[in-house]
């Protein structure tokens, strides 16, 4: 490994859950409101993972009150408390942007395997 990579490694989370595009995720985000800190969950389908060392990100899409909402999270940010995989989706693309143009029945994703 090169020297830059070994430095970056120190700042990356080592205990990340494995997930990919198409999976339904629950992202627990730390939110600071004044002095208090609370955890807010953002639930939706992962559209893409952007792999780039410490600055890696992933995009989660959900439909909230009829409006599509996408949030890009920094993967290694300390503000991401945890990530839960609710459902593993079977998709053929690494970036499932085609989901944006679909709604209802067409926006379904088949499960890769079912959770027991």
Partner 1 sequence: MDGILGEKVGMTAVYGEDGSQIPVTVVRTTGNVVVSKRTEERDGYTAVVLGFGERSAKRAGKPVEGFFAKQGLLEEREDGKKIVKRHLREFRVPAARLAELDVGAALAVDSMFHAGERVDVVGTSKGTGFTGVMKRYNFKGGKASHGVHEYHRHGGSIGSNTSPARVFKNRKMPGQHGNARITIQNLQVISVLAD
> Which positions ≥6 away from 109 have C-beta within 8 Å?
22, 24, 45, 89, 90, 91, 96, 99
Using the rule CB under 8 A, which residue among 53, 62, 68, 107 binds partner 1?
53
Angle at 111 between CA 106 and CA 115, to 5 degrees: 140
Tell whether residue 54 is a contact of partner 1 (CB under 8 A). yes
> Contact region for partner 1 (CB under 8 A) — 5-13, 87-95, 97-105, 108-116?
5-13
Q: Considering only the stretches 15-23, 47-55, 92-100, 107-115, report the one whose residues sit in contact with partner 1 under the rule CB under 8 A.
A: 47-55
Which residues of the shown chain bind partner 1 in the complex (CB under 8 A)?
A: 3-4, 7-8, 10-11, 30, 32, 53-55, 74, 76-79
């Amino acid at each position: 490994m090169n020297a830059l990579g070994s430095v970056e490694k120190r700042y990356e989370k080592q205990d990340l859950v494995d997930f990919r595009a198409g999976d339904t995720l629950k992202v627990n985000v730390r939110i600071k409101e004044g002095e208090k800190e609370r955890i807010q969950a953002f639930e939706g389908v992962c559209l893409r993972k952007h792999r780039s060392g410490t600055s890696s990100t992933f995009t989660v899409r959900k439909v909230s009150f009829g409006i599509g909402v996408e949030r890009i999270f920094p993967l290694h940010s300390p503000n991401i408390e945890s990530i839960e995989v609710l459902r593993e989706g079977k998709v053929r693309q690494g970036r499932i942007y085609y989901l944006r143009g679909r709604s209802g029945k067409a926006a379904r994703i088949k499960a890769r395997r079912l959770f027991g």
